[in-house]
Amino acid sequence: MSNKPTTPSTLPAPRGTRKIFGLEWPANVTPAERKSLIAGGMGWMLDAMDVMLLSMVLPYLMTDFGIREDLGGLLGLLTLGASAVGGAMFGFIADRVGRTRALMLSILVYSIASGACGLSSTFWQLALFRLILGLGMGGEWTTGAALIAEVWPAEHRGKALGIMQSTWAIGEMIAAGVTFLILQQFHLGWRAVFFVGVLPALLCLWIRRDVPESEIWLAHGQQKKPINLRLLWRKDIRWHGFLATAMNACGMFGYWGLFYWMATYLTERLREAGGNPNLAKTTAWLLVMGVGKWLGYTLFGFAADKFGRRISYIVYLLAAAVLVPIYGMTRDATWLLILGPFVAFFGTGFFSGFSAIASELFPTEIRATAMGLSYNIGRGISALAPFSVGALVRYYHIELGAAFLLCAAAFAAAALFALALPETKGKQLE
């Protein structure tokens, strides 16, 4: 099936559900729903892989280029800061040319930039390529989430977006596995790790051929109405947009400050516990943590559809705010392994809620633009997190685990902003 515009049809009525492992799932999933979820999920999974390859090879990069924690954190700041620009830019593109076309373009940008990172001969060349990668990274979430939100019905939208978000954890695990194979088994060096990041570009071929455009977007797009950006300043949209952006900025600050440095943190702690940890042991700890992330992302969607978006969001964030300081003070390798999945479950799973909340706060004609701005302005602010944590270690001589207290405070602040947002569970998109 081509993704060229077709005549929009009437949106389907709510459908029945069935139980899978005790969890509600739609009795029938349409081809458009299935393909949109696969496209958004695969794009986000491979996006995560490309982004997290840097985190996995960061200790080797810092040694090779002779840089310390502050410049290591700067690479994360540039990637995330650029993602804010990319998300807003691709949101506007998606409202103009369609969700699927914008999705393909974002995947091409981050894939090509990842491969270019492996060609860097200086730190600043690498920084430039990470900045370009960030543009595509920000665009993928905006376009993929908008596509899924408009194709899936309200009663199952949270689940679908939660599953899409959960693929980030799979992408991180793939990044850990790829790094282990290339560095430990094939001894090819960190540059070869980045070359693997070109492969997601192949996904665009399938999206172009088989993934249909959102009918909701087509209904507006075929009317040839200009995008009315003044809607963003309408009182209710403006206030909700501010709250969602602040909530997202704090939540993502906590996430990126914690998980950007996680591989480095585990390497340090395992060295203290066991003398000389190899990459295989660090990878194993990260993979176990990745399982916790995947469950956190996925189950959030089911919780959000059953109990509501806001209460689920708040519970996750508060749990993360409590667990992160405990994890940062843990020195025993066994307890790092036990607590890791719980920290990952709550410290990442809340992400699944933002796409559902944001898609239900904004009208169709500016949905992708507003989602892109809200999500990526928040992500732009959170870009300070990797640098801030690194700077605390570098300039104030604070242990990395103690610096994670900053992340816990950010999670708690995000929960407070979530309290002020309306509940959008069950809202039908026009």
Between CA 246 and CA 401 the distance in angstroms is 25
Pick the CATH number of 29-419 from 1.10.510.10, 1.20.1250.20, 1.10.10.350, 1.50.40.10: 1.20.1250.20
Taking 70 as the threshold, does the pLDDT of residue 292 lie above it?
yes
Q: Where are the domains of the chain?
A: 29-419
* Own/partner long-range contacts of 315-320 (Cβ < 8 Å, ≥24 apart): 316/346, 316/349, 316/350, 316/353, 317/251, 317/346, 317/350, 317/411, 317/412, 317/414, 317/415, 317/418, 318/411, 318/412, 318/415, 319/346, 320/254, 320/346, 320/347, 320/350, 320/408, 320/411
Whole-number Cα distances in Å, 256 to 148, 156, 246, 252, 298:
25, 28, 15, 6, 19
* Mean pLDDT, rounded, for 27-37: 91
> Each residue of 357-382: pLDDT tens digit?
877 877 777 777 777 778 778 877 88
pTM of the shown model:
0.76
> Each residue of 142-180: pLDDT tens digit?
899 889 988 998 888 888 988 998 898 899 889 989 998
Taking 80 as the threshold, does the pLDDT of residue 22 lie above it?
no
pLDDT at 130: 93
Q: What percent of the chain has pLDDT over 90?
A: 37
Crossing angle for the helix pair 69-97 and 235-259, nearest 10 degrees? 140
Computed over every residue of the chain, the mean pLDDT equals 85
* Mean pLDDT, rounded, for 326-341: 93
